[in-house]
Structure 1
Amino acid sequence: MTLRPDLAIIAANVAPGSRVLDVGCGDGALMAALRDERGCDARGLELSADDVAAAVGRGLSVIQGDADTDLADYPDASFDYAILSQTLQTTRRPDWVLDQLLRIGQRAVVSFPNFAHWRVRASLLWGGRMPVTRLLPLEWYATPNIHHVTIDDFRAFVKSRGIVVEGAWFLSRDRRTSSAAANFLAEHAVFQLRRG
């Protein structure tokens, strides 16, 4: 099974044998890869009952839950990695969720679509409407994304909280791109973080 490009980056950067919590794990594709290819003890938390059923059907340990409320139930430092892929922008309190990830895991890995990508900017500038793109595919009234974030917003946010960026990867058209002008050129970002 081929992983989505951001998930492949995450999987390649999780140490073999780690304890992993995948928050917003979807159907468990990343968890299965971490279990099968990296020997990780992967657990998941997912809001969608259908995705929970699909992940459990793969033999994965996934419970139904909400990142906005249920992360508080996990003990401190109970995982090596707490992962949040393409979910940060859907949470009600992304700042609280990120704090919880860094409390639960020794490291947090976060990926999100970049709202400052040039196509998004052009759509707003020339069309005057909220953009619909490959990574932001739904109209404004139907999207689960409630906190659009840019790469520069996220960098400033983690810096203001003293969070250390251990790694950052950027994607455009599903291929890795350089960090130079990433806020303008990258469609998607992946950050690996730890407390300072």
Structure 2
Amino acid sequence: MNTTLRADLRLIADWVRPGARVLDLGCGDGALLAWLQQHRQTRGYGVEIDVENVARCVEAGVSAIQGDLETGLSDFADGSFDLVILSQTIQAMHHTEEILLEMLRVGREAIVTFPNFGYWQNRWQIFRGRMPVSETIPYQWYDTPNIHWCMLGDFEALCAKNGIRLLERVVMDGERRVGFLPNLFGSLAFYRVGR
């Protein structure tokens, strides 16, 4: 397996403490978990709906189970993990609020990343009469798994409503961190949250 991480996964990895117990929801092929095991000596699991990706995880030495996040995390006890990760998946969840609460039930902290719908290029495409298609939103409107679009303020309001503390926020455009007008100039949002 390639040990080079994409820019978004590198940022997530920077937030993971050595030796942490990690649960990666929607772990894909397990690239992040494999890197964390090798470089941060983490322990944990991945949950992935795609059976072929679960097989790729196992081939890479990553413990992964096939599961549908929409059914919740009842297989995991309270406080089982130091960190629960949901990377670029929350916008495809039917039960967004529930999965966020479940993440913080089974983990002390959570990392959530999502495409920022407020990004200027998305706004420009809407202005021109089309639904956005970009690197972070790579689907046409009629075949997208994404069902809940949000911007930075939307996610922060959801956290406030549920008593979730915002521990850290980074907004990126490609590999570049965005500090000035992040909701306008950032295509991908990263949050580290806790209770």
- TM-score (normalised: structure 2): 0.96
Match of 1:191 in 2: 191
* Residues 1:129 and 2:124 aligned together: no
Deviation at 1:4, TM superposition (A): 1.5
Deviation at 1:5, TM superposition (A): 1.4
Partner AA of 2:173 in structure 1? S
Larger displacement relative to structure 2 (166-175 or 184-193): 166-175
Partners of 1:99 and 1:160 in 2: how far apart? 11
Match of 1:154 in 2: 155
Partner AA of 2:147 in structure 1? I
Larger displacement relative to structure 2 (18-27 or 72-81): 72-81
Residue 191 of structure 2: SS of its match in structure 1?
strand
- TM-score (normalised: structure 1): 0.96
Partners of 1:171 and 1:104 in 2: how far apart? 28
> Over the residues paired in the alignment, what is the CA RMSD in angstroms?
0.9
Deviation at 1:73, TM superposition (A): 2.3
Please list every run of 5 or more consecutive structure 2 residues that lacks an aligned counterpart in the other structure.
Answer: none
Residue 54 of structure 2: SS of its match in structure 1?
helix
Residue 169 of structure 1: SS of its match in structure 2?
strand
Match of 2:48 in 1: 46
Count of residues in Structure 1 that have an aligned counterpart in Structure 2: 193
> After superposition, what is the alpha-carbon deviation per residue over 1:155-186, rounded to whole angstroms, capped at 9, x for unaligned?
111122221111111111222221x3111110
> After superposition, what is the alpha-carbon deviation per residue over 1:124-161, rounded to whole angstroms, capped at 9, x for unaligned?
012x1211111111101111101111111111111222
* Residues 1:4 and 2:45 aligned together: no
Partner AA of 1:188 in structure 2? L
Q: How does 1:1-196 map to 2 (within 5 A)?
A: 1-126=3-128, 128-178=129-179, 180-195=180-195
State whether residues 68 and 92 of structure 1, in contact with CA within 8 Å, keep that contact through their aligned partners in structure 2.
yes
Partners of 2:162 and 2:101 in 1: how far apart? 10
Please list every run of 5 or more consecutive structure 1 residues that lacks an aligned counterpart in the other structure.
Answer: none
Partner AA of 1:164 in structure 2? R
State whether residues 114 and 187 of structure 1, in contact with CA within 8 Å, keep that contact through their aligned partners in structure 2.
yes
Runs of 4+ in 1 over 6 A off after TM superposition: none
Partners of 1:47 and 1:12 in 2: how far apart? 26
Identity value in percent: 43
Residue 17 of structure 1: SS of its match in structure 2?
coil
> After superposition, what is the alpha-carbon deviation per residue over 1:79-123, rounded to whole angstroms, capped at 9, x for unaligned?
000100011011111100000000010001000110110000010
Deviation at 1:50, TM superposition (A): 1.0
